[in-house]
Amino acid sequence: MRFRDRFIKFMYGRYGVDELGKHLLVLAIALSALGLFLPRIPSFVCSVLSLALTGLIFYRALSKNINRRVMENHRYLAKTEKIRAWARFCKKRWSERKTYRYLRCPHCKGYCRVPKGKGKIKVNCRVCKKQFERKV
Ligand SMILES: [Zn+2]
């Protein structure tokens, strides 16, 4: 039996990696990297935390209690939704930076996406339905 087949057989019925696992891995790597720049004792603490997180990642990925892991991931995603939505918004804003500008509405402080390089334009806010002028 090839290694790949044995691995598939081993992982059968186990949970695997989810968003929480991926984010924990990033945190573990970040802690490990941070430890390189710190003096002895804080560096040791970072290494221990990183190792503990790595253990947790493996425990979750190899766990056969799938329902519990799904619930943990679901709770994590629900609690971090605002942060992840903000990150998605920033990513979109960055990818559209050459064609669109994001203006803050002076009335409701919401964001309005407007085409770039059109001169002075009137912007209708979708949230509060008010109008304001801005040069883009
Ligand atoms: Zn508005």
> b/e map of 1-28 (b: 16 or more CB within 10 Å)?
eeeeeeeeeeeeeebeebebbebbeeeb
Distance between Cα 112 and ligand 1 center (Å): 8
Distance between Cα 29 and ligand 1 center (Å): 41
Report the alpha-carbon distance of residue 81 to residue 84 in Å, rounded: 5
DSSP letter assigned to residue 112 = E
Distance between Cα 106 and ligand 1 center (Å): 7
The whole-model pTM stands at 0.74
From first to last of its 136 residues, the chain has per-residue pLDDT tens of 799 999 999 999 999 999 999 999 999 999 999 999 999 999 999 999 999 999 999 999 999 999 999 999 999 999 999 999 999 999 999 999 999 999 999 999 999 999 999 999 999 999 999 999 999 8
The domain ranges of the chain are: 3-79, 99-135
Distance between Cα 133 and ligand 1 center (Å): 12
